[in-house]
Amino acid sequence: MEEQHKKILQRNRINLVRDLDPSNLYDALLEKGVFTQDMIDEIKSSGTRRDQARQLVRDLETRGSRAFPLFLECLQETAQHHLAEILQSGAPTVQLQPAAPTKVHPVIKPLPVISPMDVDKQNKDTVPIYPLQRPTTTPSPSPETETFRPRPQGRTRRDSIKSYKMDASPCGHCLIINNVEFERESKLNSRKGSNVDCDKLERRFKALNFIVEVKTNLKQRQIKHELSALSKKDHSQFDCCVVIMLSHGTEVSHSRFPGAVYGVDGQHVPVQHITNYLNGQHCPSLQSKPKLFFIQACGGGEKDTGFEVSPDEAQPSIGRTDDQTDAIPMSSSSDSLSTSDETDARATLPTPSDILVSYSTFPGYVSWRDTSSGSWYVEMLDRILEENAATDDLVTMLMMVNDEVSRNSAKGLYKQMPGSFNFLRKLLYFQTPA
């Protein structure tokens, strides 16, 4: 598909996902050769009407140069005129070249008697890929004919990745642990601005149809108790579970994944243990369902000064002067900027599938927090979810968060780079208000 047509689809994705009726389009798209039957079946299996519409638009962008005008034809033929008009308003006039005879269908010959494995291989190798090659009287292909490499056996198109079921109402539980005031014996400073983070995330996940529970100023044993209680809930009627940790953090010895989050008593809980509470072994009712962990805490005490880039790559840096960190300095850490500087914990990830842990910072480095507007990471995560959850999957949105946070600078010098460990097997789209 031409780049200008892709951009039109992307600009109008919210309208298409909201209003498109894919079920009325399948026959027309198949007849015109835009999609194969296999692709139609994959779209149908992606979930709800909105999920199917989203998958259809995504697949459409991978088709040939005739896909966009043929899609407009299908919208007109199925009386979805308002969508066709929206797309046409931003598109140049497209002249369709007549395709090869449209009334002639491929001749289907009976398969010989062969082994099941050979049948499977033959079926995969002979699946037609758009544009659909119909019998013609001239065997030589047109110079404009687009050709595609056959799909290797045993591999699938990226676009065939399915989406998690996310239509339960409510969608699932969301536990937020917000540690702000630390006991004097812990020798940890108060985390000013963390309540701003907590309020933003509570509102955001309620808007995404989660049951949100907030726990404030928990000691180590209380953190473990709340996670254990969450793992013992019956999640069978829900589709997802979210845990958000807002606290100080540090590096710890580990067998697989580093990082730990502090309780207000100065005792820490390894993030590896936090995630283990909800894995398939310890929480059977969440098996095969996405478990999401968002960690606003430092991964260590190092402060990143960034590196110089070429003028073409340079982007405006958002300077901050009232930023603090949430890390506990290690022996290898940089000197503190002031007596009030702190750092946040680094997250880790266990091996079971369907888990994603999103870190506010790169392992070993501090995570910055503004004392009045909250942390860089949570501020951007909240904004990206608000603006893009209706159209984009979670992993794509987290990349947007990474990009935006990387542009900030603390005290005109220090940088921050979020990241995630992704063990999800499918795309994840949140529920959004109609």
Mean pLDDT of 204-229: 97
Q: What is the CATH number of domain 172-303+314-422?
A: 3.40.50.1460
First to last CA, the chain: 30
What secondary structure letter does DSSP report for 177?
E
- Residue 200 above 80 pLDDT? yes
Q: What pLDDT, in 10s, does the model give residues 44-59? A: 887 888 888 888 988 8
Tell me, rounded to whole angstroms, the distance of Cα 26 from its chain centroid. 27
Identity of the highest mean pLDDT range in 270-279, 362-371, 400-409? 270-279
Our answer to whether residue 248 is catalytic in this structure is: yes
CB of 156 within 8 A of CB of 127?
no
Spatial separation of the C-alpha atoms in residues 303 and 410, rounded to whole Å:
10
pLDDT at 375: 83
- Which of 74, 174, 241, 298 is the catalytic position? 298
State which fold the 3-94 domain adopts.
Death Domain, Fas (1.10.533)
- Please give the residue that has the higher pLDDT: either 352 or 190: 190
- Residue 335 burial by CB count (10 A; 0-12/13-18/19+): exposed, middle or buried? exposed
| Percent above pLDDT 70 for the chain | 65
pTM: 0.58
Cα-only R_g, the chain: 26
User: What's the token pair of residue 346?
Assistant: 């680094």
CB of 230 within 8 A of CB of 274?
no
pLDDT at 289: 95
Spatial separation of the C-alpha atoms in residues 113 and 86, rounded to whole Å:
51
- Residue 417 above 90 pLDDT? no
pLDDT at 42: 82
Residue spans of the domains in the chain: they are 3-94, 172-303+314-422
Mean pLDDT of 341-348: 39
If pLDDT is split at 50, 70 and 90, which confidence band does 149 have? very low
What secondary structure letter does DSSP report for 427?
B
CB of 304 within 8 A of CB of 365?
yes
If pLDDT is split at 50, 70 and 90, which confidence band does 258 have? low
Our answer to whether residue 298 is catalytic in this structure is: yes
pLDDT at 2: 83
Mean pLDDT of 243-256: 80
- Which of 173, 235, 248, 268 is the catalytic position? 248
